[in-house]
Structure 1
Amino acid sequence: MKQYLRKSIKVNGCPHHVVASPDAMLVNVIRKQLGLTGTKLGCGSGQCGACEVIMNGKLVRSCIVRWDKVPQDAEILTIEGLGRPEKLHALQWAYVKTGAIQCGFCTPGFIMSSKALLDENPNPTREEVRDWFQKNRNACRCTGYVQIVDAVMLAAKVLRGEEEMTDFSELTRDGKIWGSHYPRPSAVYKATGTWDFGDDVALKLPEETLFAACVCPETHHAIVKKIDFSEAEKMPGVYKVVTAKDIYANKGTNRIRGQVGSKTATTNGWERRILVEEGDKIRQWGEAVAIVCADTEEHARAAADAVKVEIEELPALLNVKDAMAPGAVKVHEDIPDIDGIPNVFNKRPIKKGNDPKEDLDKAPYVVEDEFYSSRQPHLTIETDCGFGYFDEEGRLTLQTKSICVYRHQLMIARGLGLPPSKIRVIQNNMGATFGYKVGPTNEHLIGACVIATGRPVYMRLDMKEHIIRTPKRSPFLMKIRVGADENGKLVGLEHYWYVDHGPYSESSQDLTNKGGQFMLAPYKVNNIRGCGYTVFTNHKWCTAFRCYGGPQTYFGGELAIDMLAEKVGMDPLDFREKNLIQPGDTLPSGQRPEVYPLQAMVTHIRPLYEEAKKQAAALSTDKIKHGVGVAIGIYNSNDDGPDEANSHIELTKDGVILYNTWEDHGQGADMGCVGTAHEALRPLGLRPDQIKLVCNDTAKAPNSGAAAASRSQVMVGMAIVDSCRKLLDAMRKPDGTHRTYDEMIAEGIPTYYEGYYKATLRNVNGEVQHCTGMDDETGQGYPFANHMFGVFLAEVSVDVTTGEAKVDRMTLACDVGKINNYAVVEGQLYGGIAQGIGFALKENFEDVKKHNNLLACGFPYIKDIPDNIRLIHMESPREFGPFGASGTGEAPLSAPHAAIINAIHNACGIRIKTIPATPDRILKALEEAKK
């Protein structure tokens, strides 16, 4: 007989008498029993701080505090008790004003932690703030922490009476919000805990909602011999155990469409199963063979554990070298190999100019080496979650973290046995994705359960499951040969790159393209030969991650450039400047970029670079070596090829409504939409709050494409501008003034207008044309209309006794075109740099039994990221971009890690060619250097 505890507590000043299980965690009592969903459940193990509340004056991580440990008459303060949207606490106001909020999932925990800090120390230094967050494990994956510290320092001034809380309208520029620091519309709600994420909405679903728990045998590669769920079916609360047979019963194919996108691929893209059936193979860790649907999470998980799966283990191919080895077992027996290499299913040749072999053979300076980038985990604080149901029109409706709602609709329809028109996908407010939700992760599973049960179904992964079951950044193995003449000019490039994409081809083509499109892209290289191979392995299936393919490519390329500069005997920045692309030069794909800002960016960063070198020399000791490194990155701002987007607008009595699918995973889509439309509609004199958004619902908004490839500000932005221009043209009177809504209705003039844009550029002949794909034989074409540019300067210190490397300062000169919103763009730049630091030094997902929590995966906390990050904005206006804008999100993660690794070499003379540069790798390299 289970026993329960009744306690009297006071929450946000109100008394409550709560009965709960002794082993219930306080976070669940707060969220599920008291209904205060502002407190978030992230890691569930005290590693992220999203759940922090103040109890009896002390900060606690409520996910690791059991109910039986909560004192009788405890006084608990949650985010809801701090302030309301209409009456913000100083901390909430400061977080909004400084742009410290991106996805917002971690924000309530950070604000409560900040409150506890300022109660204890009302006048902290920035370093004391950082120490506090480090001690209390407040983790943010979005912001890079700088703006969060800014917010605490500003709030402290307000609370000390040194500054007043002002209206956010002061952040506009003479009434304009384009080019200002005006807060994103969602920020106030995120700061007050009133912004409902997926797990919050789930608590408000109908009573008959079922919880779904997957059955995932712990193996990388195995044949499923038998699935026995007879005992599980009898367990308490179980409604149904869903298997592949239920999908076939609905005439589904049980497959997911993977968008191969290449004529050279030997697969049609349908390799991925929804559920693995008896007689088929599990091809990666975390693959589901059945799903238990029960009345509660506890019952569903208990029954899932009771399902018995008999398997026959097969050899597991966990890296490209093993997968490509002669005689290697096939991941997919029915998919032919390419060029006689086992498990290779796609190739991307690159041929620009003449064959460089002869020039490289004769060149006085040549670097030929091999580089390997890690399987970087996305590590979002909100885990993968979502739910489904049949809506009022009988459509299968899926509310998830999708960042490409229309694409997901198409990818899963045939597999589930429904036409796309019968599937509705809605994006929930989400706690970031950084790209992993380009791939369907739960949509197909939830859909199968809703169809099989006829009831609403919710699925949420815990943090361990989230990390080991969701896709990762693909590792690249790169073999590079590059040379320079006696004057230090590049003469040619040969390179091969091998992409570990896990067991599925999904979205692999664009990724593999990047190795050809961006290897040495910042430099004039007229003659290039190379080829990229995409490889099936049994490690985690891979998908988009911020700057998809760019960080891998620039890791190899920017290290090779540094190594070549050293051989030539030139300073690394001098060598880069000597070889920069100049107006008229073309990228590896043969197209000219729309702007050439790199020379000006290097000029801006040079004095900082020279000063950093002097400081590094002065600070270095026998134990701590200081060094400086540089790297340059270019990345695209639209999807490869003929990209297009739609956005519609409707005039109403109260303002306008925008309809599109500019999905928001924390990057600021709401501000992107509002800022762009506000600027386009300036003749109407609208306030920002008069621009309403109806977004990211396939039943209500047109297809704007995925929120990926930093395409949205350009592509959806231009579609927004097109719709706004059409509306203004319709509203314009002969005298140049504009009709009111009532006048439009009275005159019978339509109030709804459709906007459209297709990626447009000027080709090498100066002619305007749409983007094209890459030629399958040469890799030449016009894939991108817009780009982003970054010059990175890293200053690091290396403890040669421990092997620990630390980034002391980062500088980024960045050109993302004209900036819509500085607070949003700067947040993206800080956050991308922070992820680059993690990629360089800590982050990995190699061993599923080890790398299954935030700490083990190398999550970068605040003391891993320098507070000193300098941003230099270079705003070259783009001809084809809304008001001169390009994209932003990917730029800061293109090459910061390469600058860091180059700085480590500058500090202590070692080359780390496999990342992350962990202390053991650095110590090993130091030992080898002594030999």
Structure 2
Amino acid sequence: MKQLKKMTLNINGADRMFICDPEKDTLASVLRRLGLTGTKVGCGTGVCGACSTILDGKVIRSCTKKIKTVKEYSSVITIEGLGNPMNPHPIQAAMVHLGAVQCGFCMPGFIVSAYGLLTSNPSPTREDVRDWFQQHRNVCRCTGYKQIVDAVMEAAAIMRGEKTIADIAYDYKKDVGNYYGKPLARPNALAKACGVCDYGDDIELKMPAETLHAVLVMPRVANHARILNIDYSEAEKMPGVVKVITSKDVDGANHLMMFQFSPRTTAMEQVHKLLADEKIINWGTVVAMVVADTKDHAKEAADKVKVEIEQLPEYMNYLDAVMPDAMRIHDSMDNTFTWQPLFKGDTDRIPDMIEEAPHVVEGSFYSSREPHMSIEGDTVQAYYDEDGLLTVQCKAMTTYFDRDDIAQAVGLPVEQIRVVENPTGGSFGWAMNATSYSLAAIACKVTQQPIALSMDYSQFMALSGKRSPAYMNARLACDADGKIIAGEFDAGMDHGYDPALGDDKVIKIARFMFFPYNVPHVLGLGRVAVTNHAFGVPYRGYGAPQAYTCGEALIDMMAEEIGMDPFEFRYKNIAREGETNINSSEFLQYPMEEMMDKMKPLYDKAVAEAKAADTPEVRRGVGLAWGGYNVGLGSDDFANAAIELTSDGKFIKYDTWQDQGQGGDQGSLMCTLEALKPYFPDVLPTDIKLIQADTKYCPNTGESAGSRSHFANGKASILAAQNLANAMRKEDGTYRTYDEMIQEGIPTKYEGNWVAEAEWDNFRLLDPNTGVGSPTYAYTYALFMSEVEVEVATGKTTVIGMTCVDWVGRVGNIQAVNGQAYGGISHAIGFALKENYEDVKKHNNIYSAGVPYIKDIPDKIDVLHMDGFDERGPFGSSGASEAFQSSDHVAVINAINNACGVRIYELPASPDKVKAGLDIIAAGGKVQPPKKYFLGSDFYEELEKIKANPV
């Protein structure tokens, strides 16, 4: 017999009575059931702080606070008790106006936590704020924390009466017609800061009563096994169970689409089944879904599904999967399935050039399996809408592509599928994959009932993809004057169990190795293999960080080899106007020398400070790394957007700029204002309503990836505004009103359809036989400097400062670009030092997988934007985001070496690795690179085979 308890708590100043299960309920679950969904649950294990509330005057993490341990009539304060959009608390207002709100999922927890700090310490220092958030485990994955601390400091000043909210708010009325580049607040920021923005789990709680709940059955008994039997008979008998869905219930393909990006691949078909019936191919393999009347019932039944297996060999990394005696993971293809060669210059002589060069460095490098670790995991809703469309609400970052994937999986025409992006608590790339979206759609189609599919964080970590690891062997040769002569690289990328996108991603290694230097002669090879680990998905940088892990280490090693300052060596070898990248093409822009000139005095200052502060106990060092990324998807890129004139003389903008936290709404607003300005210069931000990321209403603006969104959306916005203005324009040059348009039968809504290839005809896809090509319409550039301290006794590295000089063309919104910079830098520091998803059993939450807390990220992050103007871009802008997480991790690695002489070749640079290197040096030795990796065949023989067999 279930025993419940009636209880009363004073919540936000009012006594609230409720009924709870004292053994199961947490304070968070009770608050959310009461409708106070501003209290978010991310990790569910008390390590992210999203659920922070104040209980009897103390900040606590409510997701692990059992309700049975809360005293009757205790006082509870949640985000809803601090302020609302009509009357925000100064902390909420400061977070909005200082640009601290990105995806916003963590924001209520930060604001409540900050309230607890400021009520006890009204005049904190910045370090007090950082110590507080560290103590209370408040994690932000988007911002890099800097803007959050800025906001708390401003809020403290307001609460002390020294400032007002108006003092820190951008007054958009003073810049009418001149908004571009200004810190215009995100349209959705206030709702997020006040806790009234509904994310996926909040939407699930508020769905109709007849909604069914789907829970995934992941056996997690092996990484590779043959399925002998799936027994769900006991699960079917459990209370509330409506259906146990397996592969036999799926009418569609039971897999996603498969695109071939390179002719030099053997991955011709999708081999990953959404509901597996033959093989377990990784820790997150799904064999069934249990659909029940409640989530608890579905979970309890899912635990009753029994899977009988036959264990198979497990290949948990590239090196194991490509061994000659390794069995095929997928019957239809060898484990190594894609190759991308690179030939530049006098390739026949490159081996001799390197052997004969005055200076040569070589090494083997490992770029690790970085987990995205968004604070919000994965949650999906599926239902039939009022038009009979099977509708999926999810974290989609490419709504139309996901629509096509879902249609393939469930067996319906795309016209019968609708995809809507929910307010999204970050993804950084993993949300590009439609696995969970398709599973929810399958459950909806099978049951003909609305479905809410969600998972705990450990399931999310097992199911979602990760950054693809890469093993690389490479050499670099230099002449006596310090000029690069030639380079070689051989890279093996681990794409996990699903080959999809592998043949596209490996191209980035062939594009960003030795970027942006002038290397006259290069031999390179990228190969990709499937393994039994988490599959490779997009992650900010999409293949480029792997290349920089190798390339920028070699650059530093060469500077050390010839006795040249690493700054001077880079300055000597960056490409100048007319010199080409390793794909034998021009860089399109050449801001590199000017960027280095801007960094030079900062570098000299940092080096001097490091020398002055260096001690035998704590070593100080400075490291550099060049980075950057392409903008867009090349010749195939396109974007559509629409602008509509409304009856009150205002405008509606329609697009699919999917907001993953980067500011899709903010960016779309900026682009729309600037596109309309030539015709309607007095338009205010409040005159524009955004309808976004819903395939039912919005034209396809493309994916929120490839640093393309601002560029492509801006181009489409210009055309849409132009088409609308042309329709509104009278013969005398004035513009028709809405009523006049209707009266004359003229449409009031116009699309802008931009196609990259129609604007430029000089695209060259990367040649699959040579690596020659120019497949982009713009680049972004970033030069990073890291300052670190290394504790000799422990090997622990602390980044005490990061500086970035970037070129992103003309900045569209300063707060948005800064946010991308700070956030990207914070991910890169984590990538360098601690983030890892290697142990599938251990690395199942953000804490164990190494998420950086605030004290892991320096408060000193300086970002300097060059005054750039991209002639090709909309309004002079290029792109942003991915450059900021391209090579900065290598700046940290190079700084460690500069500090203490320990070169870390295999990420992450954990304390034990650094300490082992220090011990070697203390014993009179030198840290050596790993033994040259065997990547499946001899490098030169493989290149000769490719030359002999062009495609």
TM-score when normalising by structure 2: 0.95
Equivalent of 2:295 in 270, 294, 297: 297
Residue 700 of structure 1: how far off its partner (Å): 1.2
Give me the whole-angstrom Cα distance separating, in 2, the residues matched to 1:746 and 1:780: 56
Cα contact 2:379–2:453 (8 A) shared by 1:
yes
Query: How far did 1:775 drift?
Result: 1.3
Distance apart, 1:171 and its partner CA = 5.2
Greater mean deviation of Cα atoms: 79-88 or 136-145: 79-88
CA distance 1:795–1:172, shift in 2 (3 Å): farther
Alignment gaps of 5+ in structure 1: 338-342, 763-767
Distance in 2, Cα, partners of 1:772 & 1:267: 23
CA distance in 2, matches of 1:534, 1:612: 40
Confirm whether residue 664 of structure 1 aligns to residue 659 of structure 2: yes
2:229 to 220, 223, 226: 226
Q: Note the alpha carbon deviations across 1:804-848, whole angstroms, 9 max, x for none.
A: 001000000011111111011101100000000000001000001
Alignment-derived partner of residue 796 in structure 1: 788
Counterpart in the other structure of 2:213: 211
8 Å CA contact 1:269–1:505 kept in 2: the answer is no
2:30 alignment partner in structure 1: 29
Q: Pick from 338, 347, 364 the counterpart of residue 339 of structure 2.
A: 347
Distance 2:724 2:635 in 1: 29
Deviations 1:677-719 (A, max 9, x none): 1111124222112211111111111111110111100112211
Q: Does the CA-based 8 Å contact 1:172-1:181 persist in structure 2?
A: no
Q: Secondary structure at the match of 2:393?
A: strand
8 Å CA contact retained: 1:680, 1:721: yes
> After alignment, is 861-870 or 654-663 more displaced?
654-663
After the TM superposition, which of the residue ranges 515-524 and 729-738 deviates more from structure 2? Answer: 729-738
Secondary structure in structure 2 of the residue aligned to 1:93: helix
What stretches of structure 2 of length at least 5 have no aligned partner?
Answer: 926-951
Instruction: Give the aligned residue type for 1:862.
Output: I
Read off the aligned partner of 2:289 and give its amino acid letter: I
Q: Does residue 833 of structure 2 align to residue 838 of structure 1?
A: no
**Structure 2 Cα separation of the partners of residues 50 and 258 of structure 1:** 36
1:563-596 alpha-carbon deviations (Å, 9 max, x no partner): 0111122110100000011111222223322321
- Taking the aligned partners of 2:313 and 2:406, their CA distance within structure 1 comes to 30
- Superposition pairs for residues 266-305 of structure 1, below 5 Å? 266-277=266-277, 280-305=278-303
**Equivalent residue, structure 1, for 2:938:** none
The letter for the 2-side match of 1:290 is A
Q: Say yes or no: does 1:819 pair with 2:814.
A: no
Q: Tell me which residue corresponds to 1:97.
A: 97
**Which of 700, 703, 708 is 2:705 aligned to?**
708
Alignment match, 1:321: 319
Between 1:232-241 and 1:560-569, the stretch displaced more is: 560-569
Task: Quote the residue 2:377 is aligned against.
Answer: 383
Contact 2:382 2:391 in 1 (8 A): yes
User: Corresponding residue for 2:753?
Assistant: 756
Query: Matches of 1:521 and 1:759 in 2, distance apart?
Result: 24
- Measure the CA separation in 1 of the matches of 2:829 and 2:717: 35
Q: Tell me if the contact between 1:173 and 1:179 (Cα under 8 Å) persists in the aligned partners.
A: no
Other-structure match for 1:562:
556
Shift of 1:374: 0.6
Give the Cα–Cα distance (whole angstroms) in 2 for the partners of residues 692 and 257 of structure 1: 34
Which of 451, 458, 468 is matched with 1:464 structurally? 458
How far off is 1:732 after superposition? 2.6
Cross-structure match for 2:531 = 537
- Whether the 8 Å CA contact 2:788–2:899 is kept in 1: the answer is yes
**d(CA) in 1 for partners of 2:454, 2:26:** 17
The one-letter code sitting in structure 1 at the alignment partner of 2:203 is V
Matches within 5 A, 1:548-587: 548-587=542-581
The one-letter code sitting in structure 2 at the alignment partner of 1:675 is M
Aligned amino acid, residue 181 of structure 2: G
2:390 is the counterpart of 1:396: yes
Match of 2:724 in 1: 727
Q: CA deviation at 1:78?
A: 1.1
Question: Any residues of structure 2 matched to 1:149-188 within 5 Å, and which?
Answer: 149-166=149-166, 168-170=169-171, 174-175=175-176, 176-188=178-190
Match for 1:440 among 434, 447, 451?
Answer: 434
**Shift of residue 770 of structure 1?**
5.4
Distance in 1 (alpha carbons) for counterparts of 2:366 and 2:556: 16
Task: State the distance in 2 between where 1:499 and 1:412 align.
Answer: 28
**Are the equivalent residues in 2 in contact too, given 1:594–1:878 (CA < 8 A)?**
no
Distance 2:503 2:86 in 1: 48
String of CA shifts for 1:216-237, please: whole Å, max 9, x gaps.
1211000000011111100001
| Contact 1:478-1:497 at 8 Å conserved across structures | yes
Structure 2 Cα separation of the partners of residues 443 and 164 of structure 1: 45
In 2, Cα distance between the equivalents of 1:686 and 1:771? 37
Per the alignment, in what secondary structure is the counterpart of residue 144 of structure 1? coil
User: Paired residue for 1:765?
Assistant: none
* Distance (whole Å) between structure 2 residues aligned to residue 291 and residue 300 of structure 1: 9
Report the CA distance shift for 1:770/1:644 in structure 2 as closer, same or farther (over 3 A).
farther
- Is the 1:910–1:925 contact (alpha carbons within 8 Å) kept by the matching residues of 2? yes
| Distance in 2 between residues matched to 1:285 and 1:6, nearest whole Å | 41
User: Partners of 1:29 and 1:772 in 2: how far apart?
Assistant: 58
Q: Which residue of 2 aligns with 1:785?
A: 777
2:906 pairs with 1:922: no
Q: Secondary structure at the match of 1:166?
A: helix
What is the one-letter code of the residue matched to 1:385?
T
1:675 aligns with 2:670: yes
Contact 2:786 2:799 in 1 (8 A): yes
Output the CA distance in 2 between the equivalents of 1:827 and 1:361.
45
Partner residue, 1:68: 68
8 Å contact kept, 1:643–1:771: no
Offset at 1:475? 0.3
CA contact (8 A) 2:643 2:654 kept: yes
Kept in 1: contact 2:376–2:426 (CA 8 A): yes
Q: Give 1:750's aligned amino acid.
A: P
Q: Which residue of 2 aligns with 1:127?
A: 127
Residue pair 1:31, 1:39 contacting (<8 A) in 2 also: yes
Name the CA distance, whole Å, in 1 between partners of 2:390 and 2:483. Answer: 59
Amino acid at match of 2:319: K
Q: Closer, same or farther in 2 for the Cα pair 1:169/1:633, shift >3 Å? A: closer
Cα deviation for residue 761 of structure 1 reads: 10
Counterparts in 2 of 1:499 and 1:590: CA distance versus 1, 3 Å: same
Note the C-alpha offset of 1:269: 3.4
Per-residue deviation, residues 900-930 of structure 1 (Å, max 9, x unmatched): 0000000001110001000011111122233
Shift in alpha-carbon separation, 1:689–1:557, aligned structure 2, 3 A = same
Is the alpha carbon distance of 1:865 and 1:364 closer, same or farther for their aligned partners in structure 2, counting shifts above 3 Å? Answer: same
Q: How far apart, in 2, do the equivalents of 1:490 and 1:36 lie? A: 61
The Cα of 1:327 is off from its aligned counterpart by: 0.9
- In 2, distance between residues paired with 1:782 and 1:658? 33
Question: TM-score with structure 1 length normalisation?
Answer: 0.97
RMSD: 1.4
Distance 1:269 1:532 in 2: 21
Task: Return 456-465 or 106-115, whichever deviates more.
Answer: 456-465
> What is aligned with 1:340?
none
Structure 1 residue 121 displacement after superposition: 0.2
Secondary structure, counterpart of 2:761 in structure 1: strand
| Residues 1:597 and 2:600 aligned together | no
Please say if residues 256 and 435 of structure 2, whose CA atoms lie closer than 8 Å, have aligned partners that are also in contact. Answer: no
The CA deviation at 1:733 is: 3.1
- Farther-moved stretch of structure 1 (844-853 vs 640-649): 640-649
CA distance in 1, matches of 2:45, 2:435: 23
8 Å Cα contact 1:258/1:505 also seen in 2:
no
* Matched residue count: 914
CA apart distance, 1:173: 6.1
The amino acid that maps onto 1:601 is M
> What is the SS of the residue equivalent to 2:175?
coil
Deviates more, 1:839-848 or 1:640-649: 640-649
Cα deviation code 1:620-662 (max 9, x no counterpart): 1111000000000020110244211111111112311111111
Letter in 2 for 1:832: G
**Equivalent residue for 1:644?**
638
Percent identity for Structure 1 against Structure 2: 45
Decide whether aligned partners of structure 1 residues 120 and 761 sit closer, same or farther in structure 2, where only a CA change above 3 A counts: farther
Quick check: 1:439–1:506 contact (8 Å CA) kept in 2? no
